[in-house]
Amino acid sequence: MFHGTERHRVCFQLQVKPERIDEYRRRHAAVWPEMLRALKASDWNNYSLFLRPDGLLIGYFETADLASAQAGMAATAVNARWQAEMNAFFVALDGAPDTGFLQLTEVFHLEDQLDAISTATERSTS
């Protein structure tokens, strides 16, 4: 959770086919402007992708609600085109890339733990 707002951090994993890594990088160096605007309008915020040399892809974004963010993108024509093109880049994908990813479980967040310490300290001094 974020300070005073209902924001969730989403981290996910996919595997890019080794022979498609260079092309995947090229495609993401210049994502279609319409796709960028659709992501932002659908509440995909602070969105980043990280790619290891062997094709392991880790994605991260913040949203109020994952299901709503995915549904918002599913309702756009640009997303259907983008997902159709991106699907061929991934190994063993169950569905479209934006819904078929493996979501990772967050086990640590610095600010959450610092907030917990601060709150506990405030309670003990009151």
How do residues 43-92 score in pLDDT, each as one tens digit?
Answer: 999 999 999 999 999 999 999 999 999 999 999 999 999 999 999 999 97
Residue 5: pLDDT band (50, 70, 90) is: low
Please count the CA atoms within 13 angstroms of the CA of 125 that sit on its side-chain side: 6
Residue 2 forms beta bridges with which residues?
A: 5
Residue that wins the pLDDT comparison between 50 and 6: 50
**Annotation says 109 is catalytic:** no
What pLDDT score does 115 carry?
Answer: 87
pTM (predicted TM-score) = 0.84
Q: Would you kindly state where each structural domain of the chain is located, as residue ranges?
A: 8-125
The least confident of 6-20, 45-59, 88-102 is 88-102
Q: Which of 3, 8, 28, 109 is catalytic?
A: 28
Which architecture, in CATH terms, is 8-125?
2-Layer Sandwich (3.30)
Lowest mean per-residue pLDDT among 9-13, 16-20, 21-25, 101-105: 101-105
Mean pLDDT, residues 101-106 taken together: 91
Confidence of residue 4 (pLDDT cuts 50, 70, 90): very low
Where b means 16+ CB within 10 Å and e means fewer, 53-62 reads eebebebebb
Q: How confident is the model at residue 6 (pLDDT cuts 50, 70, 90)?
A: confident
Of 6, 5, 27, which is closest to residue 16 (Cα–Cα)?
Answer: 27
Please give the Cα distance from 124 to 122 (Å, whole number). 6
Checking if the pLDDT of 1 tops 60, the result is no
